[in-house]
């Protein structure tokens, strides 16, 4: 069966360090992968999209890698700040039978950045 795995335990780091979150998947061949941030009681907010032919994508302090051989994406936040504390979700596209695709989300990893 298809599965997306993100660390269920919260990641606690100190301000200024680099946070690294992992997204592993099985039985998917996604054309692209997306990362979202979700704060408590709010809807997710899009952060980055990376395609299967891209190894790495950067946006300000954020970096995403995508290894289709390992079936893994890593999400990095450099120089982390307490304001980065949130739950981070990865999502993979999944083809439907009608030629469309929808996003399937992992359960997310909570990041806690302490001052």
Partner 1 sequence: DGGITQSPKYLFRKEGQNVTLSCEQNLNHDAMYWYRQDPGQGLRLIYYSQIVNDFQKGDIAEGYSVSREKKESFPLTVTSAQKNPTAFYLCASSRGRSEKLFFGSGTQLSVL
Where do contacts with partner 1 occur on this chain (CB under 8 A)? 4, 8, 31-32, 34, 36, 41-46, 49, 89, 93, 96, 98, 100-108
Least separation, in Å, of the C-beta of 36 and partner 1?
8
Nearer to partner 1, 80 or 91 (CB): 91
Residue-by-residue DSSP string for 20-75 = EEEEEEES---SEEEEEEE-TTS--EEEEEEETT-SEEEETTEEEEEETTTTEEEE
* Nearest CB to partner 1, comparing residues 97 and 115: 97
* Closest distance to partner 1 from the beta carbon of 69 (Å): 22
Neighbours of 78 (CB within 10 A): 14
How open is the CA angle 28-106-110, to the nearest 5 degrees?
Answer: 145
At closest approach, how far in Å is the CB of 21 from partner 1?
14
């Amino acid at each position: 069966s298809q599965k997306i795995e993100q660390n269920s335990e919260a990641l606690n780091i100190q301000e200024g360090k680099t946070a690294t979150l992992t997204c592993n998947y099985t039985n998917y061949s996604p054309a692209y992968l997306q990362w979202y941030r979700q704060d408590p009681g709010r809807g997710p907010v899009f952060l980055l999209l990376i395609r299967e032919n891209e190894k790495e994508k950067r946006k300000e302090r954020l970096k995403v890698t995508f290894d289709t051989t390992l079936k893994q994406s890593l999400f990095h936040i450099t120089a982390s700040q307490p304001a980065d504390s949130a739950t981070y979700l990865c999502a993979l596209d999944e083809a439907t039978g009608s030629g469309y695709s929808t996003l399937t989300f992992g359960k997310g990893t909570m990041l806690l950045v302490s001052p």
